[in-house]
C-alpha cells in the first residue's frame, strides 16, 4: 500500500509541484511581504507562480509517462501530457498578463487560486474515471467562481460570479446525477468499462437520461447553446485575467473531457446525426447543440458593442465549430480539436490582454473605447489585429488552419457532416463582420486623446509573444501538430 502511494506521488508530481507553488505564493506573501509595497508583492508572487509552472513543465518533459493507474483514475499518454504542458503555458501567460492589473490588493491569493484552477485542469485531462472527473471539475470551477468575483470594488464582478456560481452549481448537480445514473447502468466509474458494458446493449431510457444530464453538465463548461447564458455576463464582469483563464485554459480542458466522456465512455450510444438517417444517441443532440451554438453565437455577436461580450458570443460560436470534431470522433479529428482549442485559447488570451490594456487607459471596453488605438499604441493594436483576424479565420494565422483542419477532418470522417461544415463556414463568414468592427474602431476611428498609451513592458512582450505564436503556429502548424 505504501509503495502504491509513493508511486502515485510520482505520477502526479507535476500537479503536486503546482499545488506546492500555490502554497509558497500564499505563504511568502503572508509571512514576509505583508508590509512590503504592492509592486514588490505582485512581482514576487508572479515570479513564483511562473517558476512553479515552468518547473511543472520541466518535470513533464523530463519524465514523460505512459500509464494507466487504478481503475482509470490516472491515464496518461503523450497527448494528455502535451495538453497539460499547453495548459501550464496558458496559465503562465495569464499570470504574466494579470501582473499589470490593479483590481485587487490580494494578488497572492489571486494567483494561488489561478494555480489551483490549473491543477483542476491538469487532473481533468489525465483521468478517465467519473469520480475524479467530477472532483477535478469542481476544483476548477470553484476556483474560477472566486476568481470571477475577485474585483471586490466592482458590482459587475460580483454579479458575474454569482451568476457563474448559480449556473455552475446547478450544472454540477446535473453532471453528478448523470454520472450516478451511468454508474447505475454500467456498474463502473471507469470510462473504458462503461463503454464495454454499453456496447451492443439497446438504449434504455435510463441511459438516455444519463446522457442528457452529462451533456448538460459538460455543455455548461464549454458554453454551448443552450447552456451558455452565464458566458456573456462573466466575460464582461470578471477581472480581465480571470475572464481570460475562463475563456482559454478552462475551455481546452472542458473540450478535452467532453470528448473523452462522449467518445470513450459513451461510444456505444452515439446514434447518428446524418441528414437522412437519424438514430437516437448523443450524436443528434451534439449536432443540434453545435448548429445552435454556431448560429446563435455568431449572430448575437454582431449586435454587441462591448468587446468582452463580443468575445463571449464569439466563444459560443467557436464552441460550435469545435463540437464538429466530437461528431467526427476519429484520431485525426481529436488532434484537430486539440489544435483548434489550444490556438483558440492562445488567441483569446491575447485578446483579453489587449482588452485589459484598453480598459486601464480608457476605462471601458466598448468599441468606442478602442477608437483610434492604432495611433496611440501601435504594437498593441497590431497584436489585436492578429488576434481578431485569427479568430475570424484569415490565413496565414492559426485560426485559419485550425478551422481548415477541423472541417477537413470532420468531412473526412463522415461525408454526412457536410451540412454542418457548410453551416460552420457560412457562419465564419458572418463572424468576419464583427471582428472587423473591432479593427475598424482601432484603425479607422479617431483617437480620443493624442498622448501615446503607456503599456508596461511585461505586457507588451507577452502580447507580442502571443501574437507571434499565433502567426508562427498558423504558418507552420506542424510545430504543434506533431505533439498532438
Partner 1 sequence: MLAWTIYISFGGALVLMLLPKGGVRAARVVALLAALAGLAIAVADFARRPSGELVTVVQVSWIRSLGLEYHLAADGISLTLVLLTGIVAVAGVLFSWNIEQRANEFFAFYLALIGGVYGVFLSFDLLLLFVFYEIAIVPKYFLIAIWGSTRREYAAMKLALYSFVGSAMVLIGLIAAYVVAGARTMDLVQLSQFPFPVHFQMWAFPLVFVGFGILAGLWPFHTWAPTGHVAAPTAASMLLAGVVMKLGAYGCLRVAMMLFPRGLDPWGFHVLGLGSWREVFALLALIGIVYGAMVALVQKDFKFVIGYSSVSHMGFVLLGLMTLQQIGLDGAVLQMFSHGVLAGLLFAVVGRMVYDRTHTRDLTELSKMSLGKVLPFAAATFVLAGMASIGLPGFSGFVAELQVLIGTWRSFPVFVVIAGVGIVIGIAYTWRAMQMAFFGASHNSSVGSAAYPPISIPERIAAMLLLAASIVVGLYPQLLLRVIIPALHSPMFDGLWKGGVR
**Interface with partner 1 by CB under 8 A: which residues?**
382, 389, 394-396, 400, 404-405, 407-408, 411-412, 415, 418, 421-422, 425-426, 428-429, 432-433, 436, 439-440, 443-444, 477-478, 481
Q: Which is nearer to partner 1, 43 or 430 (CB)?
A: 430
Work out how close the CB of 272 gets to partner 1 at its nearest, in angstroms, rounded to a whole number: 19
Give the helix/strand (H/E) hosting 94: helix 78-98
Work out how close the CB of 65 gets to partner 1 at its nearest, in angstroms, rounded to a whole number: 24
Q: Which is nearer to partner 1, 59 or 404 (CB)?
A: 404
Work out how close the CB of 48 gets to partner 1 at its nearest, in angstroms, rounded to a whole number: 36
Q: Which is nearer to partner 1, 40 or 368 (CB)?
A: 368
> Distance between CA 136 and CA 288 in Å, rounded?
28
Q: Which is nearer to partner 1, 63 or 444 (CB)?
A: 444
Work out how close the CB of 444 gets to partner 1 at its nearest, in angstroms, rounded to a whole number: 5
Work out how close the CB of 395 gets to partner 1 at its nearest, in angstroms, rounded to a whole number: 4
> Distance between CA 230 and CA 78 in Å, rounded?
34
Work out how close the CB of 385 gets to partner 1 at its nearest, in angstroms, rounded to a whole number: 9
Give the helix/strand (H/E) hosting 278: strand 278-279
Work out how close the CB of 303 gets to partner 1 at its nearest, in angstroms, rounded to a whole number: 16
Q: Which is nearer to partner 1, 36 or 461 (CB)?
A: 461
Work out how close the CB of 484 gets to partner 1 at its nearest, in angstroms, rounded to a whole number: 10
> Distance between CA 50 and CA 115 in Å, rounded?
10
Q: Measured in Å, how far apart are the chain's first and last C-alpha atoms?
A: 35
Half-sphere exposure of 18 (CA within 13 A, CB side): 30
Q: Which is nearer to partner 1, 399 or 469 (CB)?
A: 399
For 379, counting Cβ atoms within 10 Å of its Cβ (0-12 exposed, 13-18 middle, 19+ buried), the class is middle
Angle between helices 107-124 and 78-98 (to 10 degrees): 160
Half-sphere exposure of 375 (CA within 13 A, CB side): 14
For 34, counting Cβ atoms within 10 Å of its Cβ (0-12 exposed, 13-18 middle, 19+ buried), the class is exposed
Q: Which is nearer to partner 1, 217 or 477 (CB)?
A: 477
> Distance between CA 86 and CA 271 in Å, rounded?
33
Q: Which is nearer to partner 1, 251 or 376 (CB)?
A: 376
> Distance between CA 330 and CA 68 in Å, rounded?
22
* Residue owning grid cell 486539440: 338
Say which residues have a Cβ less than 8 Å from residue 74's Cβ, sequence separation at least 6.
8, 11, 12, 67, 68, 126, 127, 132
Work out how close the CB of 396 gets to partner 1 at its nearest, in angstroms, rounded to a whole number: 6
Q: Which is nearer to partner 1, 131 or 432 (CB)?
A: 432
Work out how close the CB of 425 gets to partner 1 at its nearest, in angstroms, rounded to a whole number: 5
Angle between helices 130-148 and 249-259 (to 10 degrees): 160
Q: Which is nearer to partner 1, 132 or 424 (CB)?
A: 424
Bridge partners (DSSP) listed for residue 67: 76
For 479, counting Cβ atoms within 10 Å of its Cβ (0-12 exposed, 13-18 middle, 19+ buried), the class is exposed
Q: Could you tell me if 104 and 147 are in contact, meaning their C-beta atoms sit under 8 angstroms apart?
A: no
Say which residues have a Cβ less than 8 Å from residue 84's Cβ, sequence separation at least 6.
14, 60, 122, 125, 126
Helix (H, G, I), strand (E, B) or coil at 79: helix
Q: Which is nearer to partner 1, 195 or 420 (CB)?
A: 420
Work out how close the CB of 327 gets to partner 1 at its nearest, in angstroms, rounded to a whole number: 15
Amino acid at each position: 500500500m505504501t509503495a502504491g502511494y509513493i508511486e502515485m506521488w510520482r505520477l502526479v508530481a507535476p500537479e503536486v509541484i503546482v499545488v506546492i507553488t500555490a502554497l509558497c505564493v500564499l505563504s511568502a506573501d503572508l509571512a514576509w511581504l505583508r508590509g512590503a509595497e504592492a509592486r514588490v508583492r505582485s512581482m514576487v508572487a508572479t515570479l513564483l507562480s511562473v517558476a512553479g509552472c515552468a518547473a511543472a513543465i520541466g518535470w513533464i518533459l523530463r519524465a514523460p509517462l505512459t500509464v494507466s493507474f487504478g481503475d482509470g483514475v490516472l491515464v496518461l499518454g503523450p497527448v494528455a501530457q502535451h495538453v497539460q504542458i499547453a495548459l501550464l503555458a496558458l496559465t503562465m501567460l495569464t499570470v504574466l498578463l494579470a501582473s499589470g492589473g490593479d483590481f485587487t490588493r490580494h494578488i497572492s491569493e489571486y494567483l494561488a487560486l489561478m494555480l489551483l484552477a490549473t491543477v483542476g485542469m491538469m487532473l481533468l485531462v489525465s483521468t478517465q474515471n467519473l469520480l475524479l472527473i467530477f472532483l477535478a471539475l469542481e476544483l476548477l470551477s470553484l476556483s474560477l467562481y472566486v476568481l470571477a468575483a475577485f474585483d471586490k470594488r466592482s458590482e459587475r464582478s460580483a454579479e458575474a460570479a454569482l451568476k457563474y456560481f448559480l449556473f455552475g452549481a446547478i450544472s454540477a448537480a446535473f453532471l453528478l446525477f448523470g454520472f450516478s445514473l451511468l454508474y447505475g447502468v454500467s456498474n463502473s466509474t471507469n470510462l473504458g468499462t462503461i463503454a464495454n458494458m454499453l456496447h451492443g446493449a439497446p438504449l434504455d431510457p435510463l441511459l438516455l437520461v444519463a446522457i442528457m444530464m452529462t451533456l448538460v453538465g459538460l455543455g455548461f463548461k464549454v458554453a454551448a447553446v443552450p447552456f451558455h447564458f452565464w458566458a456573456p455576463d462573466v466575460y464582461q464582469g470578471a477581472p480581465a485575467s480571470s475572464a481570460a483563464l475562463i475563456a482559454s485554459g478552462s475551455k481546452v480542458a472542458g473540450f478535452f473531457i467532453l470528448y473523452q466522456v462522449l467518445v470513450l465512455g459513451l461510444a456505444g450510444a452515439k446514434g447518428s446525426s446524418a441528414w437522412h438517417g437519424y438514430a437516437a444517441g448523443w450524436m443528434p443532440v451534439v449536432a443540434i447543440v453545435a448548429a445552435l451554438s454556431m448560429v446563435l453565437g455568431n449572430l448575437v455577436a454582431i449586435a454587441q458593442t462591448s468587446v468582452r461580450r463580443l468575445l463571449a458570443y464569439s466563444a459560443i460560436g467557436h464552441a460550435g465549430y469545435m463540437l464538429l470534431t466530437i461528431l467526427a470522433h476519429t484520431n485525426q479529428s481529436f488532434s484537430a480539436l486539440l489544435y483548434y482549442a489550444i490556438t483558440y485559447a492562445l488567441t483569446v488570451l491575447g485578446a483579453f490582454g489587449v482588452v485589459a490594456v484598453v480598459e486601464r487607459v480608457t476605462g471601458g471596453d466598448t468599441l468606442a473605447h478602442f477608437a483610434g488605438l492604432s495611433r496611440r499604441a501601435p504594437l498593441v493594436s497590431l497584436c489585436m489585429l492578429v488576434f481578431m483576424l485569427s479568430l475570424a479565420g484569415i490565413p496565414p494565422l492559426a485560426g485559419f488552419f485550425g478551422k481548415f483542419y477541423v472541417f477537413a477532418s470532420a468531412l473526412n470522417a463522415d461525408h454526412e457532416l457536410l451540412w454542418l461544415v457548410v453551416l460552420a463556414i457560412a457562419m465564419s463568414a458572418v463572424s468576419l463582420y464583427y471582428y472587423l468592427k473591432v479593427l475598424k474602431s482601432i484603425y479607422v476611428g479617431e483617437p480620443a486623446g493624442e498622448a501615446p498609451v503607456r503599456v508596461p513592458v511585461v505586457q507588451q512582450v507577452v502580447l507580442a509573444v502571443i501574437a507571434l505564436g499565433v502567426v508562427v503556429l498558423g504558418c507552420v502548424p506542424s510545430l504543434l501538430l506533431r505533439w498532438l
